Amino acid sequence: MDAGSPQNRDTWGSKTAFILAAAGSAIGLGNIWGFPTQAGMNGGAAFLVIYLIAVALIGAPVMLAELMIGRHTMRNPIGAFKMLAPGRSWWLIGAMGVFAGVIILSFYSVLAGWTMAYIVKAATGAFTVGVDTEAMFADISARPLSAISWHLAFIVLTIFVVVGGVRDGIERWTKVLMPVLLVLLLLLAVRAVTLPGARTGLEFYLKPDFSAVNFRVVLAAVGQAFFSLSLGMGAMITYGSYLSKKDELVTSAAWVTGLDTFIAFLAGLIIFPTMFATGFDASVQGPSMVFVVLPSLLAAMPPQPYGGLIFGTGFFILLGIAALTSSISLLEVGVTWAVDEKKWPRKKAAILLGSIAFLVGIPSALANGAVDWLTNVPGVGMDFLTLLFTIFGSFALIVGACFISLFVGWKWGVTAAGDEARASDGRFRLEGIWRVLIRFVCPTALLIILIQTLLQTF
Ligand code: PHE
C-alpha cells in the first residue's frame, strides 16, 4: 500500500463514541472561555444572534464536509487532499491545518494550565466568599514560573493521552466526563440566573441591540464558531478518518454541532448574569474575564462554607478535562500526519510536536503580565496570546474553511461527497440545502469576510 495507507487503522468503538470524542474536541475552553469573552467584547446578544446564524449556515455544513473528507479517505488532512486531488496544491490546506494545530495548542495549553492551577486553588480552600479573584488570577498567570510550569504540565498530559492512541487514549476519557460536565454547567446556569441582580446580565446577553454590529463583530462571531467547533484546520477530517464506514455521518455532525453550541450558550448564561450581579465591570476583558468572574460565582455556591471547595474543584477538574479532550485533537492532527506520511512512531510524533507547541507557547505564558512588553506587543496593540488567537484561532480557520468548502463544493464535488454520506446513512437528509450552503453560501460569506478583514487591517 502507498503512504498513508488506511490499513490497520484504529477506529472509534461506536457512533456514540465518535460523537463524544468529536464533541470532546469541539467542547473546551473555546466554549467556556472563548465564547463569553468574545460575546462580552462584541455586544452581547447581537453577537449571540450572529454566532447562531454562523453556526447554522456555515459551521454545520463545513463540519459535515470535513467529516466526509476524513471518512472517505481515511487519511490525515494532508494525505486526504493528496488522495482526492493528486498532483494539485490542495494539500496545502491540510498543511496549514497541521501548522495551525501546533500553534493553537501552544497558547491553548497556557489557558488550560491556568485551569489546572485553579483546581489546586479550589481544592485547597481558596474559593471563599468575597475572595479577591483578580489577585488570585494574577498569582497564577502573572508569575513566570507558575505560568510556564502549568503550561508544561498540561502539554505533558496532552502528549500522554495522544501516545495512547484513539481507542484507549482519547475515547476512554471523553465517554464518561462530558455528560458530567453538562450537568454541572446546567446547575451553575440555574444558580447564575437566579442571583439577585442577574437581570441586567440577562438583558445584555439575550436582548439584541444591532446598532453596534459591524464587520469586526461578524468576523469575531464566525471565527469563534470555527474555533469552537474545531473546524478549518483538519481536526474533524482527522477524527472523521477514524469513523467506521457503518456510522451515520449527518446525525453525527448534527449532534456535535448542537452539543457544542448548547454548551457555549450555557457558558454565556452563567457568565453574564454573574458578571453583572457581582459588579464586575464589563471592561474586565480579554482572556482574563472568565477566569476572574467564574471563581467568584463558584466560591458563593451553597452549602457554605464548602460550596467553593466542592463546586470550584469539580468545575475546574471538568473544565480541565474538556480542555484536554480538545488539546489532544489539536495535537492529533499533526501526529496522524506524521504517523501516516512520515511513518514516525506515534510516540515520537507526539513528543516532538508537543515539545514544539510547548516552546512556541512560552511567550503566551509570559504575556499575562509576567513580561511587560508581551502584555502589549509593541506596534500591534494586543498581547502575544491574543495575537496568536486572532491569527491562528480565528483568521487561519476562516481561510481553511473557505478552501474546504470550495474543495468539497467544486473540486471533489457534492455528488461524490454526498455518496459518502449515503453509504452509511441510507438517505442523506437535507442534502439539497447542504449542497447550496457548501457550494455558494459558505465560500461567498467567508470570502467577503476575509476580504473585508484584509481591507480593514491594511
Ligand atoms: N474547539 C476547541 C475548543 O472549543 C478548540 C479547538 C480548535 C480544538 C480547533 C481543535 C481544533 O476549545
Q: Which residue has the cell 508581551?
A: 374
How confident is the model at residue 83, as a pLDDT? 96
Residue 7, pLDDT > 60, answer: no
More confident residue, 319 or 175: 319
Q: Ligand 1, residues 25, 115, 260, 319: which to mutate, most atoms within 8 A of Cβ?
A: 25
CA of 302 to the centre of ligand 1 (A): 32
How confident is the model at residue 5, as a pLDDT? 45
Vertex 347 angle, CA 65 and 349, to 5°: 55
| Range of weakest confidence among 132-136, 277-281, 383-387, 411-415 | 277-281
Residue 168, pLDDT > 80, answer: no
Report the pLDDT averaged over residues 293-313: 89
Determine the atom of ligand 1 nearest the C-alpha atom of 322. 12
CA of 226 to the centre of ligand 1 (A): 8
Report the pLDDT averaged over residues 140-163: 94
Residue 96, pLDDT > 90, answer: yes
Distance CA 157, CA 328 (A): 9
How confident is the model at residue 3, as a pLDDT? 38
Distance CA 348, CA 366 (A): 28
How confident is the model at residue 286, as a pLDDT? 62
Q: Ligand 1, residues 103, 227, 319: which to mutate, most atoms within 8 A of Cβ?
A: 227
How confident is the model at residue 15, as a pLDDT? 82
Query: What are the pLDDT digits (tens) for 385-425?
Result: 999 999 999 999 999 999 999 999 999 999 999 999 999 99
Residue 114, pLDDT > 90, answer: yes
Q: What interhelical angle do 442-457 and 215-229 show, nearest 10?
A: 120
Nearest one of 163, 159, 152, 325 to 230, comparing CA atoms: 325
CA of 125 to the centre of ligand 1 (A): 31
Distance CA 226, CA 65 (A): 13
Quote the mean pLDDT of the chain: 91
How confident is the model at residue 4, as a pLDDT? 41
Query: What are the pLDDT digits (tens) for 188-242?
Result: 999 999 999 899 999 999 999 999 888 889 999 999 999 999 999 999 999 999 8
Residue 75, pLDDT > 80, answer: yes
Determine the atom of ligand 1 nearest the C-alpha atom of 232. 9
Q: b or e along 443-458 (b: 16 or more beta carbons within 10 Å of the residue's beta carbon)? A: bebbeebbeebeeeee
How confident is the model at residue 181, as a pLDDT? 87
How confident is the model at residue 254, as a pLDDT? 96
CA of 32 to the centre of ligand 1 (A): 11
More confident residue, 67 or 169: 67
Q: Model's pTM, two decimal places?
A: 0.93
What residues does ligand 1 touch, defined as CB less than 6 Å away? 25-26, 28-31, 104, 227-228, 230, 233, 235, 326, 329-330
